[in-house]
């Protein structure tokens, strides 16, 4: 699976356009999403003739990296290309249709791919509940500037998170 | 010292992004689907034991829309989006649910002061009520599924609106912004992404919503807010020590303008009012009603002011009206 490059400007949306400018012999590459591209005046005029010219300047990143832009979600009709352009999905099923594509971008945006919080049918494991209680108590200690207590609570929290509490949330 | 009355943390907001399972996201939702989402939300909230009212986008006058936007109860996205977009709010506007915005639901609780944990607890309880009667789009690995993957996971955006004249005027804000960004938090202007900061108001919020629990998000944003608050106090002390006479002169001139001007644009009001609030903090100006002072900024925003005046005014009329009423109110609450 090709790696999805995020926008150099905002860092949160997938880059769709690529530009190179050469200043004093030094090439400067820019990868931009649809929104940031427009924000910076790199606007695609609505003239058919301009399409090819525009493509010459701004080659879509996904195309360059062989992403299957024609994949379409059977539920809502959203295409991979549309997601790459806008950063938005059409429906919850898009997460299944474009799973690899989304996981790639999610891991870059969120620096993580595993939810560990609340769920609609959640209940916390005793460890998770205790950890959350310690979090609140540490916050209260910091608020009243009792750093000694906060450090003590912090140590207890560290012990609870060894090994890391990935999946500490129990949904089953 | 963590002084809850120093006016540095103006308000806190906890916002949860949620979507109903079996429906496409609002941007692709048809009329029938949009109506169904709103009905599901209203039906669920009817069982909450709290009284809620709905304002549909289609029924909003331009003034009402702008008034709600100024109060952070709705967003530009809601105004531009799905024709079945609506806002469902409780009586005191603390609980507010945007329906058919970017996601089916943006459940939010906005509280004055530094009460982020409380804001989250309250909105989480509302979320539980809606979830108990409906199925949300949820994936065991990715958590709550949202229209934009930047919100996936907890779907939680926790933020605080802070008044930071000390850090701004001592050019120390950049350091703070860099520090919080290392912890996946961001500092923006008052009205979020792309908005400018007016009147030294800044919004601090989390960026990461996946791989971190709700409690951790609340705790880390609260921690950052407390740290920034302390730094703001340090900066205000430094500001005072560097040139008290100049600072005092600037504050009293601002007070003079606000209590004597014949015309007052919102921009000028924002700037001068920030200085007056700083003057109250330093004790240069005595205020006998801090709650009323805290509400003045929203009260004199263009749409809110016209709504409470009960009439539409052009810019010139607004500026004259604002000047007279700001002066009267300030004279009443300050000595």
Residues B2 and B26: their CA atoms lie apart, in Å, by: 42
**What are the backbone dihedrals phi and psi of residue B313, each rounded to the nearest 5 degrees, phi first?**
-130, 150
pLDDT in tens, B49-64: 889 999 999 999 999 9
Helix ranges restricted to H, chain A: 34-39, 48-57, 61-64, 80-86, 94-97, 99-110, 126-143, 147-160
The whole-number pLDDT of residue B192 equals: 56
For the whole prediction, is pTM greater than 0.80?
no
Average confidence (pLDDT) over B9-38 = 95
Asked if B210 and A90 come within 8 Å (Cβ–Cβ), the reply is no
Query: How would residue A129 be classed by pLDDT, with cut points 50, 70 and 90?
Result: low
Q: Which candidate from A89, A90, A135 shows the least CB-CB separation from B215?
A: A135
Residues A139 and A143: their CA atoms lie apart, in Å, by: 6
Mean pLDDT of chain B: 92
The minimum CA-CA distance between A55 and chain B, rounded to whole Å, is 26
pLDDT in tens, A106-122: 888 888 889 998 988 76
ipTM of the shown complex:
0.84
Set of chain A residues whose Cβ sits within 8 Å of the Cβ of B152:
106, 110, 115
Residues B192 and B296: their CA atoms lie apart, in Å, by: 21
Residue A125 predicted with pLDDT over 80: no
DSSP B35-76: HHHHHHHHHHHHTSSS-EEEEEGGG--HHHHHHHHHTTSS-H
Residues B87 and B81: their CA atoms lie apart, in Å, by: 13
Beta-carbon contacts below 8 Å between A and B:
126
Set of chain A residues whose Cβ sits within 8 Å of the Cβ of B137:
92
More confident residue, B268 or B184: B268
Element (H, E) at A122: none
pLDDT in tens, B247-263: 999 999 999 999 999 99
Residue B293 predicted with pLDDT over 80: yes
Say if CB B26 and CB B101 are below 8 A apart. Answer: yes
Set of chain B residues whose Cβ sits within 8 Å of the Cβ of A87:
148-150
Asked if A88 and B117 come within 8 Å (Cβ–Cβ), the reply is no
The whole-number pLDDT of residue A144 equals: 76
More confident residue, A138 or A28: A138
Q: Which of residues 48-67 of A touch B (CB under 8 A)?
A: none
- DSSP lists the bridge partners of residue A26 as A23
Residues A94 and A77: their CA atoms lie apart, in Å, by: 9
Among A11, A118, A143, the residue to mutate for chain B (most B Cβ within 10 A): A118
Element (H, E) at B253: helix B244-260
DSSP B151-179: GTBT-EEEEEEEE-HHHHHTT-HHHHHHH
Query: How would residue A141 be classed by pLDDT, with cut points 50, 70 and 90?
Result: confident
């Amino acid at each position: 699976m090709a790696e999805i490059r995020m926008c150099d400007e905002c860092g949160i949306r997938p880059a769709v356009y690529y530009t190179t400018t050469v200043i004093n012999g030094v090439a400067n590459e820019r990868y931009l999403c649809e929104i940031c591209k427009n924000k910076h005046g790199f606007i695609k005029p609505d003239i058919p003739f301009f399409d090819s010219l525009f493509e010459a300047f701004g080659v879509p990143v996904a195309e360059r990296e062989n992403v299957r832009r024609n994949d379409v979600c059977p539920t809502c009709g959203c295409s991979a290309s549309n997601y790459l352009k806008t950063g938005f999905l059409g429906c919850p099923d898009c997460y299944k249709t474009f799973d690899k594509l989304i996981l790639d971008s999610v891991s870059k945006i969120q620096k993580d791919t595993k939810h560990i919080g609340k769920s609609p049918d959640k209940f916390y494991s005793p460890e998770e509940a205790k950890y959350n209680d310690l979090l609140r108590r540490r916050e209260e200690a910091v608020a009243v500037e009792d750093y000694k207590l906060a450090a003590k609570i912090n140590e207890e929290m560290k012990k609870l998170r060894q090994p890391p509490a990935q999946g500490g949330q129990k949904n089953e | 010292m963590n002084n809850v009355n120093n006016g540095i943390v103006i308000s806190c907001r906890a916002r949860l992004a949620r979507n109903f399972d079996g429906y496409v996201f609002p941007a692709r939702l048809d009329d029938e689907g949009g109506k169904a989402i709103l009905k599901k939300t209203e039906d669920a909230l009817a069982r909450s034991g709290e009284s809620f009212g709905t304002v549909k986008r289609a029924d909003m006058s331009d003034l009402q829309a702008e008034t709600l936007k100024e109060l952070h109860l709705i967003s530009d996205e809601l105004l531009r989006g799905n024709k079945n977009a609506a806002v469902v709010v409780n009586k005191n506007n603390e609980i507010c649910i945007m329906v058919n915005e970017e996601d089916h639901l943006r459940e939010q609780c906005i509280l004055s002061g530094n009460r982020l944990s409380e804001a989250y607890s309250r909105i989480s309880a509302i979320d539980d009520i809606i979830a108990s009667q409906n199925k949300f789009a949820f994936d065991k690995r990715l958590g709550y599924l949202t229209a934009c993957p930047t919100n996936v996971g907890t779907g939680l955006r926790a933020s605080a609106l802070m008044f930071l004249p000390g850090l701004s005027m001592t050019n120390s804000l950049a350091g703070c912004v860099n520090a919080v960004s290392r912890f996946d938090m961001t500092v923006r202007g008052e009205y979020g992404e792309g908005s400018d900061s007016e009147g030294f108001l800044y919004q601090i919020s989390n960026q990461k919503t996946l791989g971190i629990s709700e409690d951790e998000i609340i705790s880390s944003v609260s921690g950052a807010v407390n740290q920034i608050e302390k730094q703001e106090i340090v900066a205000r002390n430094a500001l005072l020590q560097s040139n008290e006479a100049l600072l005092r002169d600037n504050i009293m001139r601002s007070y003079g303008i606000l209590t004597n001007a014949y015309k007052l644009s919102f921009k000028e009001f924002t700037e001068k009012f920030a200085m007056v609030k700083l003057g109250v903090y330093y004790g240069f100006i005595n205020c006998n009603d801090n709650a009323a002072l805290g509400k003045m900024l929203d009260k004199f925003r263009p749409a809110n002011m016209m709504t409470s005046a009960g009439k539409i005014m052009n810019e010139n009329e607004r500026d004259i009206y604002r000047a007279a009423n700001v002066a009267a109110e300030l004279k009443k609450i300050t000595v």
